[in-house]
Amino acid sequence: MKKLVSVVLTLALFAGIFAFGAQAQGTYLYGDVDGDKAINSNDALAVLMHSTQSKILSKSSQAIADVNLDSEVNSSDALEILKYSVEMISGFKKDYSKTLKCTKVDSTVNSGVYKIKFSAVVEDNNTTFVFTSDGKQKAVSSSVEINLKEMLSDTEGIGAYAFLIPNGNVPVEIRFFTDEDGKNYLLFPLLKLYCEVDEEMIPDALAEMLFSTENIYLSLDEKTEGGKAVVTETYLADSDAEISYKFVNESLKTISLVKDSETTDFNIEEFSDKADTSLFGTKGFTYSTELAKALGY
């Protein structure tokens, strides 16, 4: 059982592998460089001082200052900010409410009813994630291709389940389910075992970061490839992490996470405004007191 628990925890780690989380950034007012909730000449001055290297802005402040979306912070941004402050213009080119992430992604996630399925290579393993909710219940699934039979070959008490485990590398799923009453469960579908766990074990950090509405809008790239409109929007998640969303004909196809100079690409396989109810519930599973005890419950 100890080895089985080790496998379960290893798979659970994949679901929360990026659990450094996104730092809550608050609601941003682009052009409000000094963060005083007003856009005025002080912000324009801060931009000019940065452009002359008199006082360098932080990375997040630079993103807020780049109101014309040209990936530079200079006198052009200062001029736009001044124009806005005296009501010569009503807004900036950098407008989060008009982004595809806001109109196509956030609207679905914020509704509370969705299914998001994506895949990535994590630590040299092919991994598939599913996050789904119907507004009352939610599930998180992580499937990793491993040779489970080999890993569990000498595990005590697993003999009765050995015939269920295929040979070779197979996608092995760990699932977390939260019911309407707020109870949380860890499920091991291959062996049809489950146990109750604390909320802290639910690996939501990856989804919370990738689909956060609190990240700062950095840049926009628009082009045409093969007759299709390709739009890439990039956001600042924290001081050293950037997330890019690639849309093809306004459909989300890829999310790329860059952190510490390493890039992980998440390929979107499904993004739906309907819940996958097949991942809800524990029907057909056997409660494992051994698994619960081994996990500290």
Residue-wise pLDDT for 128-139, tens only, equals 889 999 999 999
Q: What are the residue ranges spanned by the domains of the chain? A: 1-27+95-297, 41-94
As a whole number of angstroms, the distance between CA 8 and CA 236 comes to 32
Give the other-Cβ count within 10 Å of 85's Cβ. Answer: 17
As a whole number of angstroms, the distance between CA 194 and CA 288 comes to 6
> Is-contact 100 247, C-beta < 8 A?
yes
- The pair of structure tokens assigned to 192 is 């049809």
Same fold, 1-27+95-297 and 41-94: no
Beta strands at 193-197 and 184-188: parallel, antiparallel or unpaired: antiparallel
Task: Look up residue 106 and give its DSSP letter.
Answer: I
Task: Say which CATH class 1-27+95-297 falls into.
Answer: mainly beta
What fold is seen in the domain 41-94? Type 1 dockerin domain (1.10.1330)
Q: Which residue is it, tokens 């994506």?
A: 118
Q: What share of the chain is helix, strand, coil (3-state, %, to 5)?
A: 30, 35, 40
> Is-contact 256 265, C-beta < 8 A?
yes
Give pLDDT, residue 19: 39
What is the phi/psi pair of residue 111, to 5°?
-70, -25
Of 27-36, 141-150, 231-240, the least confident: 141-150
Q: Which residue is it, tokens 């080999």?
A: 150
Over range 260-271, report the average pLDDT. 91
Mean pLDDT of the chain: 84
